Structure 1
Amino acid sequence: MSVIQLVLPDFLLIGLGWLLFHKLRFSGDFFRGAEQLVYFVLFPALLFHSITQTPLSLSGTYTLLQATLAVMGFGVAMAWLAVPVLKPSPITHASVAQCGYRFNTYIGLSLAGGLAGSEGQTIMAVLVGFAVPISNIAAVHALARQNGGKVFREIVRNPFIIATLLALLCNIFGVPIPRAIDATLGRLGACAIAIGLMCVGATLSLSGGQGGVKLMSWMIALRLMITPIFAIFIGWALGLTLVERQILLLFGALPTASSAHVLAARMGGNGSLVAVTMSIGTLLSALTIPFWLMVGPLH
Structure 2
Amino acid sequence: MQLFIETLSFTLHVTAPVFILVFLGLFFRRIDLINDEFNRVASRLVFNVTLPTLVFLNLLRTDLTQVFALDLLVYVAVVTLLAFAWLVWRARRLAATEDRGVFVQGSFRGNLGILGLALAGNQYGEAGLALASILLALLIVQYNLLSVVALSLWRNQPGEGLNWKRMLLDIIRNPLIIAVALAVPFSLYQIPVPELGIKVGSYFASMTLPLALLCIGAALDLQALRVTSSSALMATAYKLVLLPLPMLFGAWLLGYEGMTLGVLFLIFSCPTAAASYVMARAMGGNAVLAANIVALTTIFGTLSISLGVFALHWSGLS
Q: 1:9 to 1:94 in 2, by over 3 A?
A: same
Whether the 8 Å CA contact 1:38–1:195 is kept in 2: the answer is: yes
Distance in 2 separating the partners of 1:58 and 1:26 = 41
Distance in 1 separating the partners of 2:31 and 2:209 = 22
Report the counterpart of residue 3 of structure 1 in structure 2: 11
Q: 1:166 to 1:277 in 2, by over 3 A?
A: same
Query: For residues 184-241 of structure 1, what are the alpha-carbon distances to aligned partners after superposition, in whole Å with 9 as ceiling and x for unaligned?
Result: 3222121111111111101111334677723212221111002221232232244334
Distance in 2 separating the partners of 1:58 and 1:119 = 9
The sequence identity of aligned pairs, in percent, is: 26
Report the counterpart of residue 42 of structure 1 in structure 2: 50
Whether the 8 Å CA contact 2:117–2:133 is kept in 1: the answer is: yes
Whether the 8 Å CA contact 2:103–2:231 is kept in 1: the answer is: yes
Q: 1:244 to 1:32 in 2, by over 3 A?
A: same
Distance in 2 separating the partners of 1:286 and 1:278 = 13
Q: Secondary structure of the residue that 1:85 maps to in structure 2?
A: coil
Are 2:92 and 1:84 aligned?
yes
Q: 1:15 to 1:143 in 2, by over 3 A?
A: same
TM-score, with length taken from structure 2: 0.85
Greater displacement, 215-224 / 138-147: 138-147
Letter in 2 for 1:242: G
Greater displacement, 151-160 / 104-113: 151-160
Q: 1:78 to 1:212 in 2, by over 3 A?
A: farther
Whether the 8 Å CA contact 1:255–1:281 is kept in 2: the answer is: yes
Report the counterpart of residue 204 of structure 1 in structure 2: 220
Distance in 2 separating the partners of 1:35 and 1:175 = 31
Greater displacement, 205-214 / 218-227: 205-214
Distance in 2 separating the partners of 1:158 and 1:96 = 25
Q: 1:158 to 1:276 in 2, by over 3 A?
A: same
Map residues 52-91 of structure 1 onto 2, 5 A cutoff: 52-57=60-65, 60-89=68-97, 91=98
Q: CA deviation at 1:143?
A: 3.1
Bigger Rg, which one: 2
Q: Secondary structure of the residue that 1:5 maps to in structure 2?
A: helix
Whether the 8 Å CA contact 1:112–1:120 is kept in 2: the answer is: yes
Distance in 2 separating the partners of 1:206 and 1:263 = 20
Whether the 8 Å CA contact 2:128–2:263 is kept in 1: the answer is: yes
Report the counterpart of residue 298 of structure 1 in structure 2: 316
Are 2:110 and 1:94 aligned?
no
Q: 1:67 to 1:183 in 2, by over 3 A?
A: farther
Distance in 1 separating the partners of 2:80 and 2:100 = 18
Are 2:265 and 1:236 aligned?
no
Map residues 1-299 of structure 1 onto 2, 5 A cutoff: 1-24=9-32, 26-57=34-65, 60-89=68-97, 91-105=98-112, 106-144=114-152, 146=155, 148-150=161-163, 151-208=167-224, 213-296=229-312, 298-299=316-317
Q: 1:214 to 1:237 in 2, by over 3 A?
A: same
Q: CA deviation at 1:87?
A: 4.2
Q: 1:286 to 1:58 in 2, by over 3 A?
A: closer
Letter in 2 for 1:277: I
Greater displacement, 242-251 / 201-210: 201-210
Indicate the RMSD between aligned Cα atoms, in angstroms.
Answer: 2.3
Letter in 2 for 1:179: E
Whether the 8 Å CA contact 1:79–1:219 is kept in 2: the answer is: no
TM-score, with length taken from structure 1: 0.90
Report the counterpart of residue 3 of structure 2 in structure 1: none
Q: CA deviation at 1:174?
A: 3.4
Letter in 1 for 2:143: S
Instruction: Point out where structure 1 has 5 or more consecutive residues left out of the alignment.
Output: none
Whether the 8 Å CA contact 1:129–1:160 is kept in 2: the answer is: yes
Distance in 2 separating the partners of 1:172 and 1:180 = 21
Whether the 8 Å CA contact 1:52–1:168 is kept in 2: the answer is: yes
Whether the 8 Å CA contact 1:71–1:230 is kept in 2: the answer is: no
Whether the 8 Å CA contact 2:91–2:104 is kept in 1: the answer is: no
Q: CA deviation at 1:173?
A: 3.8
Greater displacement, 105-114 / 209-218: 209-218
Aligned residues: 298
Q: CA deviation at 1:287?
A: 0.4
Distance in 2 separating the partners of 1:158 and 1:271 = 24
Q: CA deviation at 1:278?
A: 0.5
